[in-house]
Structure 1
Amino acid sequence: MNKKEIRQQILKTLSEMPKETHLERSKELAEMLFQTNEWNRAQIIGVTLSRFPEVETSFIIKEADRTGKKIAIPKTYGKEHTMDFHLYEVNDKLMKTKLGLKEPLDDAPFIAKERISLLIVPGVAYQKAGYRIGFGGGFYDRYLANFVGDTVSLLFQEQQNEEFTAQMHDQPVQKLLIY
């Protein structure tokens, strides 16, 4: 199977998961994250505002807010397939992109890449070595190319897949938390 077929198959499997199960498992993954050294030493955490069937990230955002950590969310630039991160607070107004993603407004404070100490990297399929199949835009691989902070991905066991070959431009994630 190629990456596109693997992506479609796994997204189909995840979308069939009952919502209650999805939320329970997402919460367990967040609890696993909160026990890591990466989380404990992080001051600014880069994370997406997830959409079903992705692992739910609202638990992470709430805990960061509760414990005084700062959250940065991505803003994408479609033509260039690039992104950067902007400060996010729980009640901030957001804009919806053409792809239906929620992103910060243009005036949200920019966060320089080197200030992000922990980046929660989303994806669809993952190899044990940390290579991943994302959603197809290459945004994270470009961003990770010279990222120096910690990288962690949270995934359901159904997202583990060794059937794809990592390509030259693919950037591995340092730590996988699997539930």
Structure 2
Amino acid sequence: MTKKEARQQVKEWMKKLDKNYIEKADQSIFEQVKELKEFQEAKTIFCYASMKNEVDTWQLIASALKQGKNVGVPLCIGKGIMEVRQIHALDDFEEGAYGIMEPSRRCPILSKEKIDMAVIPCVSADREGRRLGHGAGFYDRFLDGVTFPKILVCYKELMMDQVPTEEHDILMDQVICDE
């Protein structure tokens, strides 16, 4: 199966998920990430700002800010290129391209070297930490060579037995789903 075919298959699975399942799964994943030693010990976390059809991270971002952690979120600045901007509150977000919430460009850039752990999105994943993204390569480029723990979050109902991969794909350190 190609990545393109896998993405199509997962889109069909996503259509079958009901709102109740998604809400419970989001809460379960939030609780699990919050309990991770890596999260509890991290001074600085990197976390994507979720959009429709992704595991919800807004509660996690709010929790990290409330705990006094430094929080970096991605800002796409070019084709396949993103940087991390440090937010201090949820109102540091603004609507960007395609209605996606992103950090304000006024937020300071946060260097990768300061990140203690990252929460990474996916379209699908497998239990070995292989990630199927949207195909633009933002995360593979960004995560190349980093040493901080990469925590992938995925709905159990969207996980695959084996995600198709290519040489440049970055393996995640841990996969958390709602089970």
Contact 2:13 2:158 in 1 (8 A): no
Tell me by how many angstroms 1:162 deviates: 3.1
**Secondary structure in 2 aligned to 1:12?**
helix
Matches of 2:160 and 2:118, distance apart in 1: 22
- Taking structure 2 as the reference length, the TM-score comes to 0.91
Matches of 2:109 and 2:12, distance apart in 1: 35
Contact 2:3 2:165 in 1 (8 A): no
Contact 1:2 1:164 in 2 (8 A): no
Matches of 1:115 and 1:131, distance apart in 2: 25
Contact 1:47 1:120 in 2 (8 A): yes
Matches of 1:69 and 1:163, distance apart in 2: 34
Structure 1 spans left out of the alignment, 5+ residues: none
Structure 2 spans left out of the alignment, 5+ residues: none
Contact 2:120 2:151 in 1 (8 A): yes
Q: 1:168 to 1:137 in 2, by over 3 A?
A: same
Q: Which residue in 2 is equivalent to 1:35?
A: 35
Q: Which residue in 1 is equivalent to 2:71?
A: 71
Q: 1:1-179 counterparts in 2 under 5 A? A: 1-79=1-79, 81-88=80-87, 89-97=89-97, 99-179=98-178
Superposition RMSD in Å = 1.5
Contact 1:94 1:102 in 2 (8 A): yes
Code of the aligned partner of 1:122: P
**Secondary structure in 1 aligned to 2:90?**
coil
Tell me by how many angstroms 1:105 deviates: 2.2
Superposed structure 1 runs of 4+ greater than 6 Å apart: none
Tell me by how many angstroms 1:127 deviates: 2.1
Identity %: 27
**Secondary structure in 1 aligned to 2:75?**
strand
Tell me by how many angstroms 1:163 deviates: 4.1
1:34-59 residue CA offsets vs partner (Å, 9 max, x unmatched): 11111111111111111121101111
Tell me by how many angstroms 1:9 deviates: 1.9
Contact 1:10 1:158 in 2 (8 A): no
Name the count of aligned residue pairs: 177
Code of the aligned partner of 2:155: F
Code of the aligned partner of 2:28: E
Matches of 1:93 and 1:104, distance apart in 2: 4
Tell me by how many angstroms 1:147 deviates: 1.4
Matches of 1:125 and 1:21, distance apart in 2: 16
Code of the aligned partner of 1:109: P
Code of the aligned partner of 1:129: E
